[in-house]
Chains A and B, each alone.
Chain A
């Protein structure tokens, strides 16, 4: 199993550009989520999904869109990038059955918006 994969690892955008951060998992996990990590603020939840076709907002959803057409993939879209979106982005997944187990995180995408 590859676990949770994220592409790209690094990205530089200009203000106003759009892009999609890719996230995929091969563990058949229902739950997937996106976090952003900023210095001194820990990780904050952007959006999450409890299954294909179901998404909801987290703590900091503004400026980001998500969709979940398959169990495996959960892309994060920035429609018009802003310097405030410069951050490290982590995707995570876990199964829903039973007691909460380990949440698996991807390796992260470091995004810089100029």
Chain B
């Protein structure tokens, strides 16, 4: 069975601070996808990133960066110079990859981290 754990239930920072959201996962699959989603106060789910298990290259997108370490089964998310608009619930998720390289997209989510950025 797959499992995703986000150790931090809530994080509170002041604007311009850097903040890292932790994500640890468990899976028996050798190939899988990892995701981060953002859920702002308006409630919709916003896709942030997808990472293949066979690609351990870290990724940076503006103020966002992701650190994938297969050896520790972690996929952490860092926001640099946080802003009030970053306040949201952030979810880490995992999906299997089936034979043939596709996936039905069944996602296993972590419990979410509530990030509050104060001005």
A interface residues (Cβ-Cβ under 8 A, vs B): 31, 33, 35, 40-45, 48, 50, 58, 88, 90, 92, 94, 96-103, 105, 107-108
Contact = CB atoms under 8 A, between A and B. Distances in A.
Contact of B91 (A43, A48, A99): A43
Q: What range describes how many residues of B lie at the interface?
A: 20 to 34
Most chain A CB within a 10 A radius of its CB, from B101, B103, B104: B104
Contacts of B109: 35, 42-44
Given A100-B97, A100-B103, A103-B107, A108 B44 contact: yes
| Dominant SS among interface residues on chain B | loop
10 contacts: A42-B6, A42-B109, A42-B110, A43-B107, A44-B109, A48-B106, A94-B105, A99-B52, A107-B43, A107-B44
Contacts of B6: 42
Interface string B6-25: 10010000000000000000
